[in-house]
Each structure stands twice: as C-alpha cells, then as structure tokens.
Structure 1
C-alpha cells in the first residue's frame, strides 16, 4: 500500500499554496484542518511541526514543512505529474532559482512592506533582498522570460511563486504591474488552482459561519 498523504492546513493560511500543489499532483490525500491558537500551538500538532504553523505534509514517515519545500518535495515524489524539470535539464536551474528567490527575498521584502519596515539605504546590502524595488524588478524579470518560470512549461515553481504574486496583488504588498497581473491571470486559470480555491473558500465560509 502506498504511503498516505496527509496535509495539515487551514484555509486562512499559506496552507492554500500546499493545497494547490496537492491538486496539481492529482494523488489522493487527506486534509486535516488545524485551528489557530491551541490546536496549532498544542503538543499534538507541534509533534508534527515544532513551529506550530501550517502547512505541514506527512507522507508515510516523512514530514515536510515550509510551502516551497512541500512544493519541491511533491514534484519530486510524484514525477509522473511533470511538475519539476529533469535534474540534468537546462530548466532545473531556473526552477530552483525562482522558487527559492520567492521563498527568500520576495517573502522578506513583502513582509517588510506589509509591516511598514524600511531598511536604511546605506544598509540595504546587508539585507538578503536588498531593496523592495530591486526585488520587484527581479520578480518582474522572472515572470516575463516566458509563459512560465522555466519557459513554456508549468512547474511547481509556478505554484509557489504564483501564489506569492496573487496574494501580493490581492493585499497590496506587490505592485500591480501589468506583468504580474498577466502572470497571475494565467496561472490562476488552471483547473487545479480553481479546485483548490473552491475547496478552501468553502471551508473558510463554514468556519466563519461556525464563529
């Protein structure tokens, strides 16, 4: 029997990224909804993720946390889905490059902007993302080099980077540049993206109804 896939998530969290990835993979999985507060910070869940945050993925005896890692792991664990370039292909470098650019500089730059944190210009070189402007320019470069991040083929990198772009556009932490809006429209139209959003939106509505 194949190892069970269990996604620990919450529809009002970054777990939506992992949900999208699971829908792209197309393998059966079970979702465990973890509430904020005690359920997420309690001993039972922290035995799975000591950070007390979602998402987390359990695949048999393997536990993976962090959205970029979950996307990369799932793409490699289920190569038949075609969501990761071959290790020896020319696309593998850009695949890693842009996924982890989003997990590092983009995540940090966007969080700083959201909380009104500004790095003094003379200290920018000490920060991984440099400046918000440089990060946005580089992100625009990434999404305009082809239809997708590795060229003409959608990959797990587009799930992760695309989620960052879509959320940033929605909440105003990423500038509404035409390149970002066009890229966001392309990837959010994917059937798996729509399925994942419908599942999590329905869960969110039910949770809000229950108070």
Structure 2
C-alpha cells in the first residue's frame, strides 16, 4: 500500500482547501497541524515550505505547495477520483483554476487589505479592477453546474473555495450566480466532511485559548 499523503495545515487557513481536495480524492492522508507563531516557522517546516506557510503536502517524497497546485496535483496523482478532465479537454479547467489563483486572489486580497490602485494604473495591476475580475468570475459559474460543465473537477474545489470563503466573510459580494454555485458546493459530502473536521479543530483551539 502506498504511503498516505501528508498534509501540513492549520484549520484557520487556506489549508481547508487542501483538506477538502483530499476528501474529494478519497485517498488516505495524515494531517499535521501547525500553529502560526511556532510550527510554521521552524527550520524543519521551512525545509518543506520556505515561505513558512500552510498548506503543503508531501506525497511520495515530493512536496507541493500553493492551493491551486495542490488541487491540480492531487487530481492527476489520483485519476480514479475523476477530478480532472481528459488532457485534451482542459481549456476551462486550466483557465478558471489559474484565473482564481491569479486575478481573483490578488484583486480580492487587495480590496480586503484596503489597497487602492492609483487612478489610471489598472493595467499595471494585472487584474485591472475588482469589478472586472468579479464580473469575469461570474461568467465561470453562470449557465452551468460546474466550472467544466456537467462534471465536478478540482477546479471547482479551488474556485469554489474562493467564492465560498468570500461570500462567508464578505470579501466577495453576494450575486445570484455565486450564491447558487456555493449552495451546490456545500451539499457535497467531501465539503461537509472537511468542514466538520476543521470546525472541530477550530473549536478545540478556541477552548485552549
């Protein structure tokens, strides 16, 4: 039997995305919970991820960081889960996976942090404007059940996590297409398992102060 995937995470982090993907894949995995001030900054963990951030996975001796990369890697590493389209049918899959990891992540984070682009410098930012980015993201989840049409894929885990998180915390505005897409995601058994696990860990951490 192959070694399980090792997941380095914190329940109050984007590590929730990696755990959700692992639950979708259905492969055995072990989670190592790291705190922000200590565990993530140790020399041992920085040897895995020099950024000192989570999530990271180790599989077969190989390290993968960055949530979008983790989702894509796991879909390819465990093809039986059916979470990646055929290689000749990945246009939408790659397009929206990387759009969410690039323009969406940057635009939403900048807005949440209060960064304001100087007038006339939109082209320099890459994503242009938050409104343009959200309007474009909306097209990805309009008129179809999932990012790649009728089949749920790893792109839905990453794009969906961005939308789900944004709606929950107010960093992405409520729009009917976003709300409907998030509602479909929240019905997935793997999503529910991930939330149950991470919410229990968060509750335990809060008890401990």
Normalised by the length of structure 1, the TM-score is 0.97
Indicate the residue corresponding to 1:97 in structure 2: 95
Partners of 2:78 and 2:118 in 1: CA distance:
44
Indicate the residue corresponding to 2:153 in structure 1: 155
Partners of 2:171 and 2:70 in 1: CA distance:
24
How far off its partner does 1:121 sit?
3.5
Tell me, yes or no, if structure 1 residue 121 matches structure 2 residue 113.
Answer: no
Q: How many pairs align?
A: 209
Deviations 1:131-160 (A, max 9, x none): 000000000011114110000100000000
**SS at 1:122's partner residue?**
coil
How far off its partner does 1:26 sit?
0.3
Name structure 2 gaps, 5 residues minimum: none
How far off its partner does 1:174 sit?
0.5
Partners of 2:150 and 2:189 in 1: CA distance:
18
CA-atom RMSD, angstroms?
0.8
**SS at 1:152's partner residue?**
coil
Tell me, yes or no, if structure 1 residue 56 matches structure 2 residue 66.
Answer: no
**SS at 1:121's partner residue?**
coil
After superposing the two structures, state which structure 1 stretch, 16-25 or 111-120, moved more. 111-120
Normalised by the length of structure 2, the TM-score is 0.98
Indicate the residue corresponding to 1:3 in structure 2: 3
Tell me, yes or no, if structure 1 residue 177 matches structure 2 residue 182.
Answer: no
Poorly superposed stretches of 4+, deviation over 6 Å: none
